[in-house]
Amino acid sequence: MTPAGRAAAAIELLASIAAGADPADIIITEYFRRRRYAGSGDRRAVRESVYEVLRNLALFKWRVGEAGGDSSDARAWLIAVFATGDTGDLAAIFSGGQFGPAPLNDDEGAMVERLRTQASTPPPRWVRLNCPEWLLERFDRAFPQTSDAEVDALNSLAPVDLRVNSLRSTREKVQAFLLEEGHAVMATPLSPTGLRAQGWLPLANTKAFKDGLVEIQDESSQLLASVVNAQPGERVADLCAGAGGKTLALAAMMKNKGEIIAADVSASRLRRMTPRLQRAGVTIAHTTTIEASALADAIEPVDRVLIDAPCTGTGAWRRHPEARWHLTPERLAEDVATQLGLLRDGARLLRPGGWLIYATCSLLPEENEEQAAAFLNDHPEFQRVPAEQYLSDDQLTATGLGADGDLHLSPARNDTDGVFAVVFEKAA
Ligand SMILES: C[S@@+](CC[C@H](N)C(=O)[O-])C[C@H]1O[C@@H](n2cnc3c(N)ncnc32)[C@H](O)[C@@H]1O
C-alpha cells in the first residue's frame, strides 16, 4: 500500500470505530481479513496510525472543532494529524491519487489554514486527559489527590503480558524458549507466572504458545488467581467465565485438581474456551450457560465463587481507547444493576466459610467500593477478607496495597490494567 492508501484505510477504519458497533481491534482484524493484498507492514502502519488518533481523540476532535471543521468526521481528524504533526506531507497524501483520500475541499483547506496559524488556546481538562467530561467527576471521587495522573495513564500504551502455564512449564523455561525464537521478555513484578514484552509480540506463531505453555493475559488478571486463592481439590464457580482467561489461571493454580464450573450467559464466548482448555491441558473445568440465578438449584454449594463481573472496562482503556466514547450513564447503570444481581446470586452458591470474590476491570467507585459496601450492607452473613490473607508480603509491597485493603491496581501505579477485587467470606 502507498502512504496515501494507508491513510485512506485509517480514515475508513476510524469512521467504523466511531460508529461503535464493535471494539476497534475486532473491526481492524475484520477489515484486513477482507483485504489480503495488505502486507504485514501495511497492517502495522495502519493500525498504529488508527491507535495514535484514538489515544488522542479528544484533542483531535477539539482541534478540528476549534478550526471550524466537523469534529465528528474521521477524515477531518486525519487531516489534522497530517496538518499539525510531522507524520507526512499533507498535500501528497490528500492528492486524489489512486487508492488515496480525495483532495481537500475548500472548507477543509480553510480548516488546515486555521489549524496551522491559529494561536492555540490551552485545551480544557477533559480534552487534555482524553476523557468524557461526565466521567471525570467519578475519577475525582475514586482518586481525590491523583485523578489527573490516573486518567492520563489510561492513554498510555499497555505492555504485552503473558501468563506461563504452570501445568506445563516454568517461567524461566518459557522465557528461554521465547528468547530462542527471538522474543525477549522479562519477569513481571507482581504475578509469579507473568512475563512481559515491551511492544509487539506475535505470540500465536511461537512454539511455546502452540504447545500450551503460555497465554496472553494482563498481569492484573493473573493476580486475580492469587486473590481467589483456590486450592487443589476445591470446587470453584467462575460465574462470568467468558472465553476462560481466569478459568485457565485458576486451573493452573489448583494443579488441575478439583472442579471449576465455568458459567457465562454467552455461549459463543464459552465455546472459545474449549480449545484453550485443551491446549493448556486443563481437564477440571466444564462450561455451562445456566444463569447464575438458577445455578444454586443445579449444583452443590462450592468453596469459592469468582464474579469477574461485566463492567464498563474503564481500567482497560489502554487496550480499548475508543471505549470511553461509547460509554454512557445508562450503560454504567445497567452494568451496576447486573453486578448487583450477580453478587446476590453468587452469595447463594457458597458453602458456609466459602469465599466470594468480586472483581472488575473498572476504576469507577459505583462498580467497586460502593458495590462492595452495598453487598455487605445487604448480606450481614458475609465479612470482608483483608488482602494480607490472599497476597504474599512481596505482592502487598509491590502493589503498594495496605495489608487491610482490597485489590486496587491501575496503569498509573502498577503499569497493569485497572482492576478492583474484594473478597467476602460467608459465615461458617
Ligand atoms: C469481564 S468478562 C469475563 C472475562 C473472563 N472471566 C476472562 O477472564 O476471560 C464478563 C463476562 O460476563 C458475562 N456476563 C454478562 N452478564 C452476565 C450474567 N448476567 N451472568 C453471567 N455472565 C454474564 C459476559 O458474557 C462476559 O463474558
CATH number of the domain residue 342 falls in:
3.40.50.150
Q: Same structural domain for residues 322 and 232?
A: yes
Cβ-contact 233, 147 below 8 angstroms: no
* Residue 247 included in any domain: yes
pLDDT at 284: 98
pLDDT at 85: 78
- Model-level pTM? 0.93
- Reading the block at residue 410, the C-alpha cell is 491501575
Max intra-chain CA distance, the chain: 74
Q: Same structural domain for residues 314 and 380?
A: yes
Q: Same structural domain for residues 206 and 229?
A: no
Report strand pairing: 194-197 vs 259-263. unpaired
Give 214: exposed, middle or buried? Use CB within 10 Å, 0-12, 13-18, 19+: buried
d(CA 317, CA 246): 19
**Among 265, 277, 335, 339, which residue has the most ligand 1 atoms within 8 Å of its CB, making it the best to mutate?**
265
Q: Same structural domain for residues 17 and 98?
A: yes
Q: Is the CB of 264 under 6 A from ligand 1?
A: yes
Which letter, b or e, does each residue of 353-373 get, where b requires 16 or more Cβ atoms within 10 Å of its Cβ? ebbbbbbbbbbbbbbbbebbe
Domain count, the chain: 3
Q: Phi first, then psi: give them for residue 360, nearest 5 degrees.
A: -135, 160
pLDDT at 219: 96
For the CA of 313, the closest atom of ligand 1 is: 1
* Residue 356 included in any domain: yes
The whole domain housing 224 covers 219-426
Q: Is the CB of 266 under 6 A from ligand 1?
A: yes
Q: How far is the CA of 120 from the centre of ligand 1 (A)?
A: 44
Query: Kindly report the CA angle at 270 between 319 and 274, in degrees rounded to 5?
Result: 100
Q: Is the CB of 141 under 6 A from ligand 1?
A: no
pLDDT at 49: 93
pLDDT at 319: 93
- For residue 367, the SS3 value is helix
* Residue that is written with C-alpha cell 486451573 in the block: 251
pLDDT at 255: 98
Q: How far is the CA of 244 from the centre of ligand 1 (A)?
A: 10
Residues with Cβ within 8 Å of residue 236, at least 6 apart in sequence: 228, 230, 250, 254, 258, 259, 260, 261, 302, 303, 304, 305, 306
pLDDT at 172: 97
- Reading the block at residue 152, the C-alpha cell is 492520563
d(CA 84, CA 6): 18
Residue having the nearest C-alpha atom to atom 9 of ligand 1:
245
- Reading the block at residue 370, the C-alpha cell is 460502593
For the CA of 360, the closest atom of ligand 1 is: 1
Q: Same structural domain for residues 231 and 317?
A: yes
Q: Same structural domain for residues 69 and 101?
A: yes
Q: Same structural domain for residues 187 and 76?
A: no
Residue having the nearest C-alpha atom to atom 18 of ligand 1:
265
Cβ-contact 219, 191 below 8 angstroms: yes
Query: Cα separations (Å) of 399 from 230, 258, 379, 388, 408?
Result: 21, 30, 29, 12, 8
**Among 240, 271, 307, which residue has the most ligand 1 atoms within 8 Å of its CB, making it the best to mutate?**
240
Q: How far is the CA of 263 from the centre of ligand 1 (A)?
A: 8
Q: How far is the CA of 309 from the centre of ligand 1 (A)?
A: 6
Side chain identity, residue 127: V
Q: How far is the CA of 84 from the centre of ligand 1 (A)?
A: 42
* Residue 154 included in any domain: no
Q: From 173, 193, 216, give the residue that closes a domain.
A: 216
Annotation says 131 is catalytic: no
Residue stretches of the chain with pLDDT short of 50: none
pLDDT at 405: 85
* Residue 199 included in any domain: yes
* Residue 119 included in any domain: yes
pLDDT at 413: 94
Q: Same structural domain for residues 305 and 207?
A: no
pLDDT at 404: 79
